[in-house]
Amino acid sequence: MNASDRTPADLLRSALAADPSRPLVTFYDDATGERVELSVATFANWVAKTANLLQDHLSAEPGERVALLLPAHWQTAVWLVACSSVGVVADLGGDPAAADHVVAGPDRLDEGLACRGERLALSLAPLGRRFPSPPDGYEDYAVEVPTQGDVFAPYAPVDPAGPALAVGGTELSGADLVDRAREDALRMGLASGARLLSALPYDTWDGVSAGLYAPLASGASVVLCRNLDQLSPAGLAKRVESERITSTLV
């Protein structure tokens, strides 16, 4: 990664320039059997489409707040970097009534209705499938995102000193987030090519750092596991071997 990177979006651009084909996020849901692997290039494409959706479809502006009522999931990781690309604050598990926009998973749709702004729903189903019909009060992300552009350019430059992430009672600027992610990567021994398996939820800085930011800041990749408690010890050992895991956080 480049020393000049000051936002998560900068980190992704550097990763794309360095090696677009390497895995960045591999996601397992052991309740459904889902496995999704996203290269840096594929992840960046999802981020660009989602950032365009935020900027053009939702008319989100820098400094606005997006409540992300979502679990640790590959689509949540996409939303985190897309928010950084636009300059809006990604508020993980935040109060939808205090947010300008809300993005909710299927188990938090009722809670998200407290937001008076634009609302998007994610099915979180395998392959990013649509809902059978959009939930009341929401647009379906899987319906809206495919038509968005594959290249994103913010209308206004993103200020690295501006707020970027709120999680677990902590609010960080883009620059602070990048610095902390680099520190965490060093502490965890992550380097280029490392493979970190994380089953930590996205409700604390430690969870979201291990599950996205520290690997992104170090040229490593993350194997993000949801519902890992449904996997047997033998199954976990097999995954560690098949995914070439170099460190584990469960």
pLDDT digit string (tens) for 27-67? 999 999 999 999 999 999 999 999 999 999 999 999 999 99
160-212 pLDDT tens trace: 999 999 999 999 999 999 999 999 999 999 999 999 999 999 999 999 999 99
User: Does 75 fall in a domain?
Assistant: yes
The CATH number of the domain holding residue 134 is 3.40.50.12780
- Number of domains forming the structure of the chain: 1
Read off the pLDDT of each residue in 72-82 and give the average, rounded to a whole number.
Answer: 98
Helix (H, G, I), strand (E, B) or coil at 132: coil
Segment 156-163 shows an average pLDDT of 95
The answer to whether residue 23 sits within a structural domain is yes
Full-model pTM: 0.97
Residue 50 lies in a domain: yes
State the average pLDDT over residues 228-232: 96
Does 3 fall in a domain? no
Is 218 contained in some domain? yes
**Residue 55 resides in a domain:** yes
Q: Looking at residues 64-77, what average pLDDT do you find?
A: 98
> Can you list the alpha helix ranges (DSSP code H) found in 20-139?
40-52, 74-86, 109-112
Please report the pLDDT score of residue 1 as a whole number. 66
Domain containing 20 equals 8-249
The whole-angstrom separation of Cα 6 and Cα 158 is 10
Confidence of residue 128 (pLDDT cuts 50, 70, 90): confident
Task: List the one residue out of 16, 43, 76 whose CA is nearest residue 219.
Answer: 16
Q: Which of 118, 18, 8 has its CA nearest to residue 64?
A: 118
H helices of the chain, where? 8-18, 40-52, 74-86, 109-112, 141-144, 174-188, 205-208, 214-218, 233-242
Does residue 181 contact residue 189 with C-beta atoms inside 8 Å?
A: no
| Mean pLDDT rounded to a whole number for the chain | 96
Residue 1 lies in a domain: no
Taking the CA atoms of 113, 114, 120 and 121 in sequence, report the sign of the dihedral they define. Answer: negative
Q: In this structure, are residues 38 and 24 in contact, taking their beta carbons and an 8 Å threshold?
A: yes
Q: Is residue 2 part of a domain?
A: no
pLDDT the model gives residue 127:
85
